């Protein structure tokens, strides 16, 4: 099944949360990648029928999503908010989901879903006694209980320990390989890379990039990188670096050197050698713009900074 967004925008008062986004999410695993506050949750809520687009259309196989409870026959939703009915046991929670879907054999479906997320051992405990990761898994089980064609997960790997995270990643990959349409949001590139075949990047409400992880990775690494370098002799190191074409610009300041590397790979290879040959000790090399926001803003502007 396909989720289609056509020129969707959403604003709250004067604040634009999602700006003119058009995308199709089809079978397989799609990662919705973006920094915090990029509008990922807003976009996901519009796909899940919990928010109306201010303009544009959101449809599931051509059927309108907003104010249409029939879509939940095909959609499973794992919301980001942790809150679930804490007074229910894991078993009761997943079973209630199966009953609300009016499945022919709710007990079997609930048992199967709990097994999928490896929560059989704790299923008789109240959810309020669960860790964050366990709550997350029981929410996934409740969303999978009716074997939905579409699964939407909002920051699903948050709060999970590494083993749980790997397990859920494998589960998501399997479900995607089986032909289901899966979309999950995340602000961590590595997470998205591991699981998703298709990556949609959202920055400041805009659809910044789209492609498989190689494509996104290439666009993120093939760009000028800015480094702060501190050494025993900044000026001499600057002179040696600028002689090589991999450095675009070098400036010497109070806090050390600022080097703009045009060719990332060559620069990281070059720096230690140049320093050694010049007899300079390098004390510190730190990326000045490695945080995700700057990577994203680069993707958006598509120009040299």
User: Which residues of the chain form contacts with other proteins (CB under 8 A)?
Assistant: 12, 17, 36-42, 44-45, 48-52, 67, 69-73, 75, 77, 79-81, 83-85, 87-88, 93, 96-97, 99-102, 142-143, 154
Q: If you count DSSP H runs as helices and E runs as strands, how many of each does the chain have, helices first?
A: 10, 14
The residue (of 61 and 161) whose beta carbon lies closer to other proteins is 61
Q: Where are the alpha helices (DSSP H) in the chain?
A: 40-47, 90-100, 106-116, 132-144, 162-177, 189-195, 213-221, 234-242, 264-278, 292-301
Minimum Å distance from CB 56 to other proteins? 16
Of 95 and 111, nearer to other proteins (C-beta) is 95
Comparison of 200 and 234: residue with beta carbon closer to other proteins: 200
Contact 18, 39 (CB under 8 A): yes
Q: How far apart are CA 90 and CA 96, in angstroms?
A: 10
CB of 4 to other proteins, least distance (A): 20
Give 80 or 233: the residue with its C-beta nearer to other proteins. Answer: 80
Compare residues 8 and 17 and give the one whose CB is closer to other proteins. Answer: 17
- 3-class SS at 254? coil
Residue 162 beta carbon to other proteins: minimum distance, rounded to whole angstroms: 25
Nearer to other proteins by Cβ, of 41 and 247: the residue is: 41
CB-nearer residue toward other proteins: 180 or 225: 180
CB of 215 to other proteins, least distance (A): 25
> How far is residue 217 from each of residues 91, 222, 289, 296, measured CA to CA in Å?
41, 8, 16, 12
Neighbour-count burial for 19-53, b at 16+ CB within 10 Å, e otherwise: bebebebebbbbbbbbbeebbbbbbbbbbbbebeb
Distance of closest approach, residue 216 Cβ to other proteins, in angstroms: 20
Q: Taking the complex as a whole, how short is the minimal distance between the CB of residue 32 and other proteins, in angstroms?
A: 11
Task: For residue 231, give Cα distances in angstroms to 147, 180, 263.
Answer: 59, 53, 21
Contact between 142 and 94 under an 8 Å Cβ cutoff? The reply is: yes
Distances (CA, A) of 166 to 25, 145, 156, 250: 23, 21, 12, 42
Kindly state the tokens that stand for 228: 């702060």
Closer of 13 and 162 to other proteins (Cβ): 13
* CA–CA gap between residue 267 and residue 274 (Å, rounded): 10
Distance in Å, CB of 51 to other proteins, minimum: 5
- In angstroms, give the least distance from the CB of 236 to other proteins: 47
């Amino acid at each position: 099944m396909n989720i289609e967004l056509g020129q969707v925008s959403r604003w709250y008062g004067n604040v634009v949360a999602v700006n003119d986004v058009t995308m199709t999410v089809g079978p397989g695993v799609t990662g919705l990648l973006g920094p915090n506050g990029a509008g990922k949750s807003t976009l996901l809520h519009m796909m899940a029928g919990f928010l109306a687009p201010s303009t544009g259309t959101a449809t599931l196989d051509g059927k309108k999503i907003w104010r249409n409870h029939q879509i939940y026959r095909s959609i499973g939703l794992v919301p980001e908010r942790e809150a679930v009915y804490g007074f229910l046991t894991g078993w009761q929670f997943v079973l209630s989901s199966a009953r609300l879907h009016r499945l022919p054999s709710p007990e079997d479906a609930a048992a199967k879903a709990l097994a999928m997320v490896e929560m059989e051992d704790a299923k008789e405990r109240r959810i309020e006694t669960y860790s964050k990761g366990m709550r997350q898994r029981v929410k996934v089980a409740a969303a999978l209980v009716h074997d939905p064609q579409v699964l939407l997960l909002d920051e699903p790997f948050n709060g999970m320990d590494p083993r749980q995270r790997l397990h859920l990643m494998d589960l998501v990959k399997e479900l995607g390989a089986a032909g289901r349409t899966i979309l999950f949001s995340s602000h961590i590139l590595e997470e998205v890379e591991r699981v998703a075949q298709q990556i949609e990047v959202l920055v400041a409400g805009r659809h910044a990039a789209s492609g498989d992880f190689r494509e996104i990775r290439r666009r993120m690494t093939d760009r000028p990188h800015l480094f702060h370098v501190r050494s025993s002799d900044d000026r001499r190191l600057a002179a040696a670096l600028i002689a090589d074409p991999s450095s675009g610009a070098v400036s010497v300041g109070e806090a050390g050197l600022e080097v703009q590397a045009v060719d990332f790979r060559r620069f990281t290879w070059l720096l230690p050698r140049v320093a050694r040959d010049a007899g300079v000790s390098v004390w510190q090399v730190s990326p000045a713009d490695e945080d995700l926001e700057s990577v994203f803003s680069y993707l958006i502007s598509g120009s040299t900074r």
